[in-house]
């Protein structure tokens, strides 16, 4: 049986996709990624993931209900409303054996945990549903955010505080349900502004 692709590798490529999207959008438009449509991040993230060596598949805008069924995570009883079964996942990473492995939700220009609260709760409920039988292993909320200097703090300082607060609040939100682990690239500073590619890994507490 082939070795599974490490989670750290997957998240690294997700962040690489966001960085590349920022770079290309600046080249195309002269503007930063926060002004681009969110689906641009989805496409760039997908392009990076599919180039990873190893068995996997990736779908975009996959039906949530269909994914839950394919993962063996439906069973009896109504799915939790936070799963939003009638909706779609931004991206769905599959094991090489055609079973869902991870939900990936993507957000552009978030400022606080409220901007991703629904995504975090969704992933948590997906992972908890029939967890002993389900093929789902983890979920990721990936995001881009940027800001400018203000009168008191530099843009870099503001972003450091922002991503710390997002992580702390995410842990508090899911503290009784799942573990949250932060990932990010380095903050990029340009003149009076700064931006960062970041992600939160969500998984069942072992």
The verdict on residue 90 lying in a domain is: yes
pTM of the model: 0.96
- Does 166 reside within a domain? yes
Residue 2 lies in a domain: no
Contacts of 174 (CB under 8 A, 6+ apart): 120, 121, 124, 180, 202
**181 domain-assigned:** yes
pLDDT, residue 2, reads 57
Over residues 113-168, the pLDDT tens digits come to 999 999 999 999 999 999 999 999 999 999 999 999 999 999 999 999 999 999 99
Residues above pLDDT 90, as percent of the chain: 93
Domain presence at residue 57: yes
Strands (E), the chain: 56-63, 88-95, 100-108, 138-148, 178-184, 188-190, 193-204
pLDDT over 80 (residue 206): no
Domain count along the chain? 1
pLDDT in tens, 54-84: 999 999 999 999 999 999 999 788 899 999 9
Range of the domain at 68: 7-189
CA 12 to chain centre: 11
| 75 assigned to some structural domain | yes
């Amino acid at each position: 049986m082939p070795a599974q692709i490490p989670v750290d590798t997957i998240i690294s490529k997700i962040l690489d996709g966001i960085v590349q999207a920022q770079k290309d959008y600046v080249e195309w438009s002269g503007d930063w990624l926060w002004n681009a449509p969110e689906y641009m991040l989805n496409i760039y993230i997908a392009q990076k993931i599919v180039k990873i060596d190893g068995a996997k598949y990736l779908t975009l805008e996959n039906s949530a209900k269909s994914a839950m069924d394919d993962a063996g995570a439906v069973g009896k009883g109504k799915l939790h409303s936070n799963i939003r079964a009638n909706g779609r996942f931004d991206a769905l990473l599959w094991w090489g054996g055609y079973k869902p492995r991870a939900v990936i939700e993507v957000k552009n220009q978030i400022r606080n945990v409220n901007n991703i609260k629904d995504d975090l709760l969704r992933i948590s409920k997906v992972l908890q549903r029939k967890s002993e039988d389900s093929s789902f292993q983890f979920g990721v909320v990936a995001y881009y955010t940027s800001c400018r200097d203000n009168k008191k703090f530099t843009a870099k300082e503001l972003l450091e505080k922002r991503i710390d607060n997002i992580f702390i609040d995410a842990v508090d939100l899911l503290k009784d349900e799942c573990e949250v682990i932060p990932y990010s690239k380095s903050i990029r500073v340009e003149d009076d502004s700064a931006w960062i590619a970041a992600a939160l890994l969500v998984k069942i507490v072992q």
